[in-house]
């Protein structure tokens, strides 16, 4: 079994000058494609269940699915809760077999975010589970605006919460459909100067691939969350499969045709930031 914690894969990445892909899952088809891609690249992967995924599929089902997929490959696979918003949700994920959780208190005042994240990190660590937190706020394309991470607050957050990874807001935006969102390098360097915690970029699809590669090699950013570009690849493959034969109705046969394109897209995302 290759189930791993977030710390298991990010600490070697921090020391080795590479990053690990946190791939956002919406169901069986993409999760299976992601572990196939990771195995083909010989790289670890983080399977992420975000709020929309959890709205569609219960946590116990997702936990079992991620663990099953981890058993099917030789590379490390992290079963990660993305954007948990309460102690109860994070606790439910731990009980469901997740090896890593992210508590998102980024909309809360600093002291409240620190206190709640620290309590959840302690709860996770008692069960051998990793914890990611967020300082600053990563906004959404066409929606809530970002609030950039203050380096001094980041240092305090890392010191007082004991998180295994820290998501930061440095020009990244969730749900961005192009690669035009270059990151704020001076802010990244200022954060790196005051903390040794592995850093995480949410909204990685909006970051130019060349910048992802460079940052993986030369910064403390050890995890890029990639969702939108992979969902776009899935949607394109699904449309092509449906349009190829309008009379076809068997979902299993149709969805099979999304597998290879999703593997290819995930391999490209992993390869851009992995070692070697």
> Of residues 30, 82, 104, 150, which has the active-site annotation?
82
Q: CA separation (Å) from 5 to 45, 132, 241?
A: 11, 11, 36
Alpha-carbon radius of gyration of the chain: 18
Is residue 82 annotated as a catalytic residue, yes or no?
yes
Could you tell me if 175 and 167 are in contact, meaning their C-beta atoms sit under 8 angstroms apart? Answer: no
Q: CA 94, 38, 79 angle in degrees (round to 5)?
A: 5
Chain centroid to CA 51: 12
Quickly count helices (H) and strands (E) in the chain: 12, 9
Q: CA separation (Å) from 62 to 28, 75, 86, 116, 122?
A: 9, 19, 18, 25, 23
Q: What CA dihedral angle connects 241, 244, 245 and 250, to 10 degrees?
A: -10
Residues marked active site are found at 82
């Amino acid at each position: 079994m290759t189930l791993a914690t977030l710390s298991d894969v990010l600490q070697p990445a921090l020391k080795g000058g590479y990053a690990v892909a946190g791939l956002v899952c919406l169901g069986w088809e993409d999760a299976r494609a992601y572990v196939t891609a990771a195995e083909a690249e010989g790289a670890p992967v983080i399977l992420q269940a975000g709020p929309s995924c959890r709205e569609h599929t219960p946590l116990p089902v997702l936990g079992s699915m991620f663990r099953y997929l981890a058993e099917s490959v030789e590379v490390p696979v992290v079963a990660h809760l993305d954007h948990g918003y309460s102690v109860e949700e994070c606790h439910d994920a731990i009980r469901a077999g997740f090896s890593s959780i992210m508590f998102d208190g980024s909309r809360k005042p600093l002291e409240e975010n620190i206190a709640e994240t620290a309590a959840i990190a302690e709860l996770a660590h008692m069960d051998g589970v990793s914890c990611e937190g967020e300082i600053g706020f990563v906004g959404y394309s066409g929606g809530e605006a970002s609030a950039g991470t203050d380096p001094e607050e980041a240092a305090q957050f890392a010191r007082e919460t004991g998180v295994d990874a820290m998501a930061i807001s440095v020009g990244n935006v969730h749900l961005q459909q192009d690669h035009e969102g270059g990151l704020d390098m001076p802010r990244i360097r200022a954060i790196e100067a005051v903390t040794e915690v592995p850093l995480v970029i949410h909204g990685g699809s909006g970051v130019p691939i060349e910048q992802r590669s460079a940052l993986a090699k030369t910064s403390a950013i050890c995890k890029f969350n990639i969702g939108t570009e992979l969902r776009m690849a899935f949607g394109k493959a699904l449309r092509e499969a449906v349009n190829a034969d309008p009379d076809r109705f068997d979902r299993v046969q149709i969805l099979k045709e999304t597998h290879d394109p999703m593997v290819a897209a995930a391999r490209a995302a992993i390869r851009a930031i992995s070692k070697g």
